[in-house]
Amino acid sequence: MAAVAALLERRPAILALRKALPRADWPLFTARSPSHLATLIQHHCFDAIIIGHDAARGPVLDALRRDFPAIPLVLYVPARSDDADLLRRMHRERVAALAIEGMDEPVLPRFLARHGLTGRRLADLMPLAEQLDLTDELQREVWRLIIIDAPYRLETQWLADQFELRRETLSRRFAAGGAPSLKRAIDAARLAAVAQLLGNPGYRVEDAARLLGFSSISLLQQTARRTLGVSAREVATLEVGKIAEALVAGRGRGWA
């Protein structure tokens, strides 16, 4: 599930946001203050951050763009006639989307699916299915679920349960026809999520390991070396698309 953080000054806006985002799909963490938001960001992996009028006008936006520029921001505000300066600042600071309170709630899930980190991973990695010989419908559906859940609960048993298959059966069917092994595919998607996190100066390698469920920094380092041939810190210098290219290029070296 793609979690979302929100810092909103108006309680009606918080209530409207909770109603607009189904909890099963978009767990929402509401911050009481800028410092609380900073704490939440260090303890959870967020797909996007939603901020209100005050946060967008003050130093909160500056701090988020400085420390966490790779986490998409959505501005959620009431419609006002005197917000031209705010809209110009939104464009200058690369805020991903604008949602108008009282109007855009029905499309907020679509906003987040398009602009969030999960949507970006899907856009980068899902087209690789054909290049990785994931031609069967089951293979493609498994690959899609791996990409979506990369930062969360990626265990082979959990994946097998989603398709009502035994773990061994799922692994065998996914790797059929020259496709990568299930473990390699999971490692690739998790490293793509690592790259997304480490695109933020506010996160260190140890933060990425903790937030993405690696048991240790050492395991993250080993996974990066084995899958991409680089250190975890070097993964941070690669865009997700570049990771995808490296995986396709190196598929013949130990992918089966």
Q: Give the tokens for residue 58.
A: 């003050």
For position 83, what pLDDT does the model report? Answer: 65
CA distances from 11 to 8, 36, 44, 203 (A): 7, 16, 23, 30
Higher-pLDDT residue of 28 and 99 is 28
Of 204, 129, 127, 189, the residue nearest 154 (C-alpha): 189
Sketch the domain layout of the chain as residue ranges.
3-115, 119-249
pLDDT tens for 36-95 read 999 999 999 999 999 998 888 888 988 999 999 999 999 898 876 556 666 666 666 567
Sign of CA dihedral 14, 115, 150, 229: negative
93: amino acid identity, one letter:
E
What fold characterizes domain 3-115?
A: Rossmann fold (3.40.50)
Can you tell me which residue has the tokens 């031609």? Answer: 135
User: What DSSP state is assigned to residue 177?
Assistant: G
3-115 and 119-249, same CATH topology? no
Read off the pTM. Answer: 0.87
User: Is the C-alpha dihedral spanning 144, 149, 150, 153 positive or negative?
Assistant: negative
Q: What is the tens place of the pLDDT at every residue in 125-139?
A: 999 898 888 999 999
Say how far apart CA 156 and CA 165 lie, in whole Å.
11
Instruction: Report how far residue 38's alpha carbon sits from residue 44's, in angstroms, rounded to the nearest whole number.
Output: 10
CA distance 167 to 188: 19
Q: How far apart are CA 189 and CA 64, in angstroms?
A: 25
DSSP 34: H
Q: Which CATH number fits domain 119-249: 3.40.50.1860, 1.10.10.60, 3.30.1330.10, 3.20.20.30?
A: 1.10.10.60
